[in-house]
Amino acid sequence: MIPIILGITLVVAIFIQIAPGDPARIKIGNEATEEEYQALRDEMGLDDPFFVRYFRFLGNALRGDFGKSFYNSRPVMAEIFQRFRYTIVIALLSVTLAVLVGVPLGIFAATHQYTIMDNAAIALALVCVSMPSFFFALLMIRFFALTLGILPPSGITTWQGWILPTLSLALGFAATITRQMRSNMLEVIRQDYITTARSKGLSEFKIRYKHALKNAIIPIIMIVGGIFGMALGGAMIAEIIFSVPGLGQYTLGGLTGRDYPIVQGSTFFMSVIFSVIMLLIDLGFAFIDPRIRSQFARRRKRERVS
């Protein structure tokens, strides 16, 4: 996790270095004298060597200090925490909705294999997976907000404002979960222990939801963890489209204004959050799956013997 975070911060710092635009010139304007311009660059630390700026940011970031915005001098960390609540709410709502729709639909498709309903579910999932979330968002704005007029096209002043951003992300995630759940369920219900359970006279409902689902759902945990990480990035895009005052809007403002502390701070923060989520999912996956636990147990036993 640590090398990944360091690598991301280094790549972002390199892109900032080579990106066109001068934040000092943007801030001071074209009418300032050369002396005033150079003084501002020194104050902002823009004339320092690349690695000096990079390690200065990294050292401050590890202490929880992302610096201050070039233009309004507000602490970047405080702004991130204030706006991140909108991003996390959209991500949680979209992933929850995706799981509630994707898991039952995947089970239904697997247990009705090669029927019209199975083909329809797979076709719908393929369309939703293939279409990017921002295109879904624009289609839903056109249909629900402009044509029907039943939902607001932007803003979250009411609870209806959360519906379109959540749906625009959840549809693609639900399609991914549906396809994976169908594949897992088909693999499990063909196992010998499922045939044995049927031969004992157990009901089909009990076989599906007590025996088969327990094993088929394990890989979905890893899928959901990755989806939640992607949902954080997708939520930032949805915030821009639906004018939600979250981390996406804040980062976009930093990009357009060449506000380097905002860009670096937001990227570092999201990288840490995503990496921690994936680490927790890996640990949870090892805890839930008995095959992984037994693997480590055998390894520890061999190490003690040797």
What pLDDT, on a 0 to 100 scale, did the predictor assign at position 306? 66
pTM equals: 0.82
List of residues 6+ apart from 167 with CB closer than 8 A: 94, 97, 136, 140
Neighbours of 268 (CB within 10 A): 21
| Residue 185 predicted with pLDDT over 80 | yes
SS3 244: coil
pLDDT of 5 > 80? The answer is yes
Weakest-pLDDT range from 75-79, 165-169, 289-293:
289-293
Percentage, residues of the chain above pLDDT 90: 10
pLDDT > 80? residue 297: no
Spatial contact of 254 and 262, defined as CB atoms under 8 Å apart? yes
pLDDT of residue 46 exceeding 70, the answer is yes
Distance CA 23, CA 292 (A): 51
Residue 298 has what pLDDT? 67
Going by pLDDT thresholds of 50, 70 and 90, the confidence category of residue 305 is low
Interatomic CA distance for residues 101 and 159, integer angstroms: 21
pLDDT tens string 104-115: 898 888 888 888
Q: Count Cβ atoms within 10 A of the Cβ of residue 194 and give its class: 0-12 exposed, 13-18 middle, 19 or more buried.
A: middle
When pLDDT is cut at 50, 70 and 90, the band that residue 294 belongs to is low
CA 209 to each of CA 101, 181, 216: distance values in angstroms, whole numbers, following the listed order: 16, 13, 10
295 falls in which pLDDT band (50, 70, 90)?
low
Pair 90, 162: CB distance under 8 Å: yes
The mean pLDDT of the chain is: 85
Q: For residue 118, what pLDDT band results from cuts at 50, 70 and 90? A: confident
